[in-house]
Amino acid sequence: MRGASGLEGQQTTAKRVQFSSPFLPYLFLAPQLAIIFVFFYWPSVQAIQSSFYLEDPFGFGATFVGMSNYTDVLKSTEYLGIARFTAIFTALVTFFALSIGLLLAVKADGVIRGNATYKTLLIWVYAIAPPVAGLIGMMFFNQHIGPVVELARWFGWDMKVGLDYSDTAFAMIVVSVWKQIPYNFIFFLSGLQGIPVSVREAAALDCRSEFRRFWTVILPLLAPTAFFLLIINVTYALFDTFGVIDVMVKDKAANNPITLVYKVYMDGFRGSDLGGSSAQSVILMLVVLVLTVFQFRFIERRVHYS
């Protein structure tokens, strides 16, 4: 984005639209701003505010408690354990969703005949809503009829999803990755198709090894897409896997792995500890902020935008 100065700057000036009234642009922006305000800024401000209060579980009043919600959360070994699981979960889901999506896109891109069929088959999983994906995933991992469980048993692995911590974690990661692959696939595929054919051909004349060509020419040219997907996937793993986790651990969270977002929900709506829950969500907000800044500062630098 920083690289796109110079020429493109001039083009935007040339395209600039003149409004008759200086308020008109704001009027056009108003609906979007209203939505962002109502659904993002307002709740954020409320969360920050209530994170400093201890709320009565029945809504009769709130007591100002300063930072104690935060210190309670950060001192809790349970919370730190969940944080560690969330980090591992996010890293694994992002890594596998991106790499499998990329692998499928590269392979589908190489198919010449019937590739529309391939693409459709790979894309339509994305049309499934997260709770439904969670349900289908649960069925895969069902104790009695789940094909994955059966397969695991074949290898001598007695899988107990919903009872055993690591088995549940495994199922969660698999279903979350499975759900995200089509999204990554679509973007990687369109990214691949955006690479000029002649550049690939030039590379084919310059380098015999297809594998090496992929690492030295194709992947660097896919970097903008990959960087965008990295941010999207991290966000997905942190927040959007809620539905999957909810379906998998509902009512029996006791010994099951959950992520920070689910913990926020559990404490706030099940445990009625709105103050502690708000403090957690503020912490989560800060973590995501730092992560995003880090990604833009240190990873985007290596991305070439053509």
Residues that bind other proteins (CB under 8 A): 196, 198-199, 201-209, 212, 216-217, 220-221, 223, 304, 306
Minimum distance, C-beta of residue 99 to other proteins, in the bound complex (Å): 21
Minimum distance, C-beta of residue 196 to other proteins, in the bound complex (Å): 7
Distance between CA atoms of 54 and 272, rounded to whole angstroms? 11
Cβ proximity to other proteins, 107 vs 212, nearer residue: 212
Number of Cα atoms under 13 Å in the Cβ half of residue 51:
21
Minimum distance, C-beta of residue 2 to other proteins, in the bound complex (Å): 14
- The enclosing H or E element of 292 equals helix 274-294
Cβ proximity to other proteins, 139 vs 202, nearer residue: 202
Strand partners, 63: 54
Q: Output the CA torsion 241→246→247→250 (10° steps).
A: 160
Minimum distance, C-beta of residue 220 to other proteins, in the bound complex (Å): 4
Minimum distance, C-beta of residue 15 to other proteins, in the bound complex (Å): 21
Q: Which residues have C-beta within 8 Å of that of residue 180, sequence separation ≥ 6?
A: 93, 97, 101, 233, 236, 237
Minimum distance, C-beta of residue 217 to other proteins, in the bound complex (Å): 6
Minimum distance, C-beta of residue 42 to other proteins, in the bound complex (Å): 43
Cβ proximity to other proteins, 196 vs 271, nearer residue: 196
Cα 9 to chain centroid distance, Å, stands at 32
Number of Cα atoms under 13 Å in the Cβ half of residue 168:
20
Task: Compute φ and ψ for 283, nearest 5 degrees.
Answer: -60, -45
Distance between CA atoms of 111 and 102, rounded to whole angstroms? 14
Q: Which residues of 57-89 are buried (b: 16+ CB within 10 A; e: fewer)?
A: eeeeeeeebeeebbebbeeeeebeebbebbeeb
Angle at 15 between CA 10 and CA 16, to 5 degrees: 100
